[in-house]
A = this chain, B = another copy of it.
Amino acid sequence: MRKNILLAPIAALLAAAPVSAQEEEKKEYPSPNAIVDAAPASDWKAIAASDLLVMDLAPDAEGNKRRVIIQLMPEPFSQGWIRNIRKLAAAKFWDGTSINRVQDNYVVQWGDAGYDNPESGETEQKALPEGLEVVPEWQYDGVDPSKEEVIVLHPSEYVLDETYSGWANFVDGWPIGSATDGGDWPIHCYGAVGVGRNYSPDTGTGAELYTVIGHAPRHLDRNIAVVGRIIEGIEHLSSLPRGKGQLGFYADASKRIPITSIRMGDELEQLPQPAFEYLDTASEAFARYADARANRRDPFFIKPAGGADICNIPVPVRRVAAD
């Protein structure tokens, strides 16, 4: 039987001096959070406000504001869809659209649910802004069949998670899969944001988006574009009532949650701009954090697992005071 490999522990990465068994026993094992809290300021990297997508929902039943902040992926991933998303935000396309689907242990989806025109009997959709790209399927994982060009990252420093058709690792703050036969792709973890689409060869424009609210649906990797991740406010989506229609769509249109606006972080009407930073995934602090996630030895734990799925090592992101 063929076997795929997952999850080599990254303890081997740690540049620790050899210690005796006795010293090892005496050593204190901080929790993953404590390691992150102790990371030096130089290990944190700023996230540009121009790479944030800020979604405001209508206030909840108690009048509380609901803001969800999405970090878009850096190059070279999914950039065709991300250019479309920037155009859609600039055109205020999503203002007045809604959250339409909440499927337990799977996804929350938003976009234009359409308007049922009583005169024509048709469902009408908003016009998309001009100039959106039709993104080719090869951009899911970076293998361009026409050019024989491949997005090749294959970071060789450490392989965290060898799985399925290749392996996985962190690249510039993101969980990334890599195929043995070439190509790299963003991984669907909890909070990942992807582009809804119809059947192939449609790849979606970016007007219809979803986020993961359950166990990582890794079968979607290389089949749908991942364009970002939620870095604040996911609870405003994950705690919504589940839809009772097929696939978790709200069968009753009145249950949809109105989206007031979606804007780029540097184009908000109200200041300050949101300011965040992430823990450099090439830092020693991140390696220690990832090892601690895979091998919990802080006081509550008895038996370290010896490994962790890459989606159980969320990249630490924190809010910082705006300038």
Contact = CB atoms under 8 A, between A and B. Distances in A.
Contacts of A6: 4-7, 163, 307
Nearest to A201: B302
B3 A8 contact: yes
Interface string A1-13: 1111111110010
Contacts of A2: 8-9, 12
Contacts of A116: none
Nearest to A61: B61
A283 interface: no
B4 A306 contact: yes
Nearest to A106: B190
A235 interface: yes
Q: What bracket does the count of chain A residues touching chain B fall in?
A: 35 or more
A200 B296 CA distance: 14
Interface stretch (A19-27, A84-92, A117-125, A212-220): A212-220
A171 interface: no
A191 interface: yes
A273 interface: no
Interface in A129-146: 137, 140-141
Interface stretch (A39-47, A48-56, A68-76, A239-247): A239-247
A51 to B, nearest CB: 22
